[in-house]
Amino acid sequence: MAKKIKAPKHVPHKRENIESEYVLETRNLGISFGGLKAVQDVNLKIKKNQVYGLIGPNGAGKTTVFNLLTGVYQPTTGSFYLNGEDLTGLSQEKINRKGFARTFQNIRLFNNMTVVRNVMVGLSNQPEYKCTLFESIFRLPRHFIAERKMRKRAKELLDIFGLLDERNNLACNLPYGKQRKLEIARALATNPKLLLLDEPAAGMNPNETEDLVNTIKYICENFDMTILLIEHDMKFVSGLCDQITVLNFGTVLAEGDTKEALNNPEVIKAYIGG
C-alpha cells in the first residue's frame, strides 16, 4: 500500500508587515509534502482592481497555491501579504476575516438551504449583521432587524447574478451554471478584498461563460474588487486577465502580459506536449 502523504507540520512564522502597492504579494511561496516539492518559489504581485490569472496544466499546483493563500495548507517556505500585512501562518477563519474569499473546483453549497439563505450565510460574518446569542435564542427585536437587513443585501447580490427569481428555491435544484454563480455571490457576500475563483467557468456553456465574464467585470468596477482566478478556458482568461502566471510541475514557467505568456513556446509545449 502506498504511503499516505501528509501536509507538513506547521512551523511558527515570524510575521513582518511591509509597505506595498499590491493587494496580494507572495514571496518565494512554496510547500513540500515529505520530499515532494508541490509548489516552490511562487512570486505573485497583484494590484488593486486587477483580474489576475493563475494557469497551467492539470497537476501544476494551482489549487495548492489557493490552499496556501487561504490557510488550508501552511507554507513550508516563503510568505504572503494582503495590502502589506503578512498573513502567513494564520488560520482559515482569520485569513477570511482579513479579506480573502474563495470558490472551489467542486461546488460547495448548502444544498438543502434556499438560494437566499446561502448568501445570508456569507453575510453572517459582517459586523453590521451581528447579534448576541441571547438576542437570537429569545428572538429579540435586534435579531429580526439584522435578519431583514441580511435578506435585503442578499437579494441585491442575487440580482447582480440574475438569481433573484431563484431566491426561494433550494440550492440543489439550480442548474449547474447557476450553482457556480451562487457560490461566487456567497463568496462576495463576505466583503472580501481579494476574491479567489477556482475554475469559475468550468462546466458552463459558451453563453453562460460570456455572461460570467461580464459579471466579473461588473464586480471589479462596482465592488472595488481584486480577483485571482484559476481557469483552463484560455478564451475566458484572455477576455478578463491582463496579466497571468503560468505554473508547471509546481514552478513558475512564465508570467506577465497574458498574450505574451500564452504565446510563450514553453507554455504551449506544457499544454499540448512537445
Q: Is 56 helix (H, G, I), strand (E, B) or coil?
A: coil
**DSSP category for residue 114:** B
Domains present along the chain, CATH in parentheses: 1-13+21-99+192-274 (3.40.50.300), 111-189 (no CATH)
CB under 8 Å to 252, separation ≥6 — which residues? 41, 42, 43, 245, 246
pLDDT band at residue 102 using 50, 70 and 90 as cut-offs: very high
Q: Which residue has the higher pLDDT, 165 or 132?
A: 165
pLDDT band at residue 8 using 50, 70 and 90 as cut-offs: low
pLDDT of residue 33: 93
pLDDT band at residue 141 using 50, 70 and 90 as cut-offs: confident
pLDDT of residue 18: 79
pLDDT of residue 4: 53
Summarize the confidence of residues 14-37 as an average pLDDT: 90
pLDDT in tens, 220-251: 988 889 999 999 999 999 999 999 999 999 99
pLDDT of residue 1: 47
pLDDT of residue 2: 46
pLDDT in tens, 154-164: 999 999 999 99
Task: Say what percent of the chain tops pLDDT 90.
Answer: 76
Q: Which long-range contacts (CB under 8 A, 24 or more apart) does 104-110 make?
A: 104/183, 104/198, 105/63, 105/198, 105/199, 105/202, 107/176, 107/179, 107/180, 107/183, 108/183, 109/171, 109/172, 109/179, 109/182, 109/183, 109/186, 110/171
Summarize the confidence of residues 134-145 as an average pLDDT: 75
Residues shown for the chain: 274
Q: Are strands 100-102 and 194-198 parallel, antiparallel or unpaired?
A: parallel
Summarize the confidence of residues 172-200 as an average pLDDT: 95
Q: Which residue has the higher pLDDT, 2 or 116?
A: 116
pLDDT in tens, 50-76: 999 999 999 999 999 999 999 999 999
